[in-house]
Amino acid sequence: MRQISLLFIALFLTLGLQAQNAPVLPTIEGVLQHLRTVKPKAAAQLREEVSCTRESEFSWNTTSAKWDSTFQTITKVNDEDGKINIEITASEYDEVGGFMVTEVIEGYGIVGDFDLEEAPISYDSLLLYGPDQFTGDLILVARILPTYNGNGKLVKQDTYFNTAFFGLPLGFVLFGVNLYYYDASDYLISEASKGVDFGTFALENGDSTKYTNNGAGQVLVAQSWEWDADLMVYTNVSRITNTYVSMGGDQASVTYESWNDATMTFDYNSHSIYTYGKPGLMSKEEIQTGSPGNWKTVQEISYTYDAQDRPTLVSYKSVNPNGVKTDTNRETTKWDTNEGWTSETIYQSFVGGNWVNNDRNIVEPCEPISSVATPLAPEALVNAWFDASRQLNLTFAVDAQPRTLDLYDMQGRLSLRADIRNGQNKIDGSALMPGMYLVRVTFAGGEVAAKQVQKF
């Protein structure tokens, strides 16, 4: 089954349910995969009630020979009463305007038992949040309700979307169903999706995948079909064949095939062979093209690890028909020695005999934020701006009672803090570097308001 990332889901939800053909539904396994990617960064910080991790992406500017900020994602993990809520704020750097623009603000609430360390598979329900398409407010836009068999295996997953028609809310409407089937050993043997026809509200067939397992539950073959609504039949899409080093051991190879409608057969796309330095640690992957008996390696990927078996270098080489290997790309990773997460990854290309920077990714903790909801008063702070004399000017509503001001840069660092009692509306900003800042004002009743400002 094709997986849809949570970021894409939230963006899709803002468009409403205008399409008549239901897309492949998000699955709980897809959400679990997202949570597992968050785990290495967040688990070490769960000592706090709320953890916060900042991931910044940079691109190499060949003209200035400096890293330019391009994208930033802040992940906050709230742990309240045994329930986990993950909220992600993503911002993109506007190179023309010279500032960060918030693109997506999302929350993912898990109702039920979810432990980042153990990751059990059972949930009472899964809630997806996204911006309201009319107001922009963060609202509950989807609810996924799973059904389990007696052995605790997921067998059905109903997905409901919070819909609206010309701005009038209709409430939650069934959008589709995912079905899962198991053999006598509780190994997954097939899964299928059924979307809703919004004209008749009847369930229609969607994608389907069948799995062939060995005695250890490893998938030997995964074959996928999609439903042809015109012909009323399932049509082939792709097939993946796996082999393993041993029962329960590492994967030895995988072959990818796609269906050719003209010849009514599967065409070979690629073949990968895996080599391991020790169990569980892949040292090399060879990507090949051709067909069985005539596979030719076109790319070789090698992996290097540190003393704690953490990947530190991934090297890519192209291989020509004569077997000559040429460096193409590499990824160098550093690890935070205290918290144990990836702290920095640099991506480079090999050009003209030299390694050239492409992109850079940095992961770092940000300040834990209280899980107690702070009342917002956006109308209390009317405006904020830097004038030509580098003073930060503030305009408040008539009845507002501002007390303190915090100024953060776009990396989330506190740059200035000041008391603004007795109607003060100017703050000296001459010591601040040019750039974008977030102004956060706290008022007498504990309410807060914030605005972005740029200092030239």
Enumerate domains of the chain plus CATH numbers. Answer: 1-182+335-373 (no CATH), 378-455 (2.60.40.3080)
Give pLDDT, residue 273.
97
**DSSP string covering 239-275, please?**
EEEEEESSTTS-EEEEEEEEEETTTTEEEEEEEEEEE
CA angle, 227 as apex, 221 and 230 as ends, to 5°? Answer: 150
Q: How many CB atoms lie within 10 A of CB 64?
A: 8
Give pLDDT, residue 19.
31
Question: What is the C-alpha separation between 139 and 129, in angstroms, rounded?
Answer: 6
Give pLDDT, residue 129.
53
> 123: which 2 tokens?
């949930």
Question: What is the C-alpha separation between 270 and 256, in angstroms, rounded?
Answer: 5
Give pLDDT, residue 360.
94
- Show the 3-state SS of 153-175: CEEEEEEEEEEEECCEEEEEEEE
Chain position carrying tokens 């205008």: 18
Chain position carrying tokens 């992961």: 363
Task: State the pTM of this model.
Answer: 0.63
Mean per-residue pLDDT pooled into runs of 10, the chain (456 residues):
29 29 41 43 37 81 86 68 58 65 49 35 54 53 78 84 62 86 91 85 91 90 94 95 88 96 96 93 96 96 92 96 96 75 86 95 67 62 90 90 83 79 82 84 81 82
Give pLDDT, residue 146.
81
Give pLDDT, residue 111.
38
Give pLDDT, residue 220.
95
Give pLDDT, residue 102.
62
CA-wise closest residue to 189 among 166, 156, 214: 214
Give pLDDT, residue 411.
58
